[in-house]
Amino acid sequence: MNPTRIYAVFVRQLYLLRNNPTRLAGNFVWLTIAIVQWGFISKYLGTLGQANFNFITVILGALILWEFLTRIQQGLMMGFLEDIWSNNLINFFASPLKISEYTIGLVSSSIVTGLLGFLIMSAIAGLGFGYDIFIIGLSIVPFVGILFLFGMAMGMFVCGMIFRLGPTAEWLGWPIPMVLSLISGVYYPIDTLPAPLMLVAKLFPPAYVFESLRAQLELVATFEGVMINLAMGLGLALFYLFLAYRFFLIVYRHNLRTGKLARFNASI
C-alpha cells in the first residue's frame, strides 16, 4: 500500500468538507440539537418523584457514544457517495489506486468527522449539563474503540450495498444505526427486550459495550465481567469488519469483471 495515495483520498475528502460547509454544519447542527434535547429531557426525568438516579449520566453518555458510531458509519458512506455524485469513481479506479488504499482513505476522513462530533457533543454535554464523558475513567477508551470498529464495518457494508444496487441504496444506509440502537441496549438494558430480541442483541458488539458501561456506572461491574464483554465485543467487531470488507471487495471485483463499474458511474 502506498501512503501517498491513501493521503490523497483523505485530503480530497477534507477539501470536499471545506468547500461544502453546509454538509459539515448540517451534521453538527443535528448533533447539537440531539444533545440539548436529551439533556433537558434527562434533567426533567431526574426531577420526577424525587428520583436519585442520574439520568443525564446514562442517557447523554449513551447518546454521545452512539452518535460517534453513527458519524463513523455515515462519514464512510458519505465519502463514497461524494465520489459517486461527482462521477469520480471511475477516475479513482482507472488510476494505480488500490481498493484497500481507497477504503483506508475514506476511513481516515470518517475518523476526523467522528472525532469532531464526539468532541463537540462532549463539550456541549459538559458545559450545558455537567456531564463528564470520562466519568468511569480511561476504561471507556477500549469500548469506544469497539464502537469505532463496528462503525467502520457498518459503513463498509452500506458502501458495498450501494456499489451493488446503485446510488438509491443509500436510503438503506441511513436508518441502520437507528434500527440497531433499538436492539443493542444503547438506552436500556438488553434484558428489557423480549427473549428472541435478547438473543439477536448478543450478536452485535454495541450490546456488550453499553451493558458494561452501565454496570460500571451502577458500580455493579466485576473485572471478569468487563473483560469478557470487552473480548466478546472486540471479537465481534473485528469479525463484522472482516466480513464487510470482504463483501465490498467481492462487489468491487464483480463490477470490475463484468464492466458494471463503468456503467455504474455513467448511470448516475
Q: How many angstroms separate the CA atoms of 164 and 39, rounded?
A: 40
DSSP state letter for 48: G
Rounded Cα–Cα distance for residues 190 and 194 (Å): 9
Residues 8, 221: Cα–Cα separation, whole Å: 45
Phi, psi dihedral angles at 203 (to 5 degrees): -85, -5
The pairs formed by 29-32 with CB atoms below 8 angstroms and a separation of 24 or more are 31/67, 31/71, 31/117, 31/120, 31/121, 32/120, 32/121, 32/124
3-state DSSP of 226-258:
HHHHHHHHHHHHHHHHHHHHHHHHHHHHHHHHH
At CA 210, angle to CA 205 and CA 211, rounded to 5? 100
- Give the span between the Cα atoms of 211 and 207, in whole angstroms: 6
Closest alpha carbon to 245 in 167, 157, 182: 157
Segment 224-247, tens digit of pLDDT: 888 898 999 999 999 999 999 999
What is the spatial distance between Cα 28 and Cα 241, in angstroms, rounded to a whole number?
26
DSSP annotation of 193: S
Q: How far apart are CA 118 and CA 113, in angstroms?
A: 9
The per-residue pLDDT for range 105-132, each reduced to its tens digit, is 888 888 888 888 888 888 888 888 787 8
Q: Tell me the pLDDT band of 266, cut-offs 50, 70 and 90.
A: very low
Report the pLDDT value the prediction gives residue 214, as an integer from 0 to 100: 83
Long-range contacts of 137-145 (CB under 8 A, 24+ apart): 139/216, 139/226, 140/213, 142/230, 142/234, 143/65, 143/209, 143/212, 143/213, 143/230, 143/233, 144/65, 144/68, 145/234
| pLDDT single digits (tens) 76-99 | 888 888 888 777 777 777 777 888
Return the percentage of the chain with pLDDT > 70, whole number.
90
Mean pLDDT of the chain: 82
Residue type, 159: C
Residue 203 predicted with pLDDT over 90: yes
Q: What is the pLDDT of residues 28-49, one digit of tens each?
A: 777 788 888 888 887 777 676 5
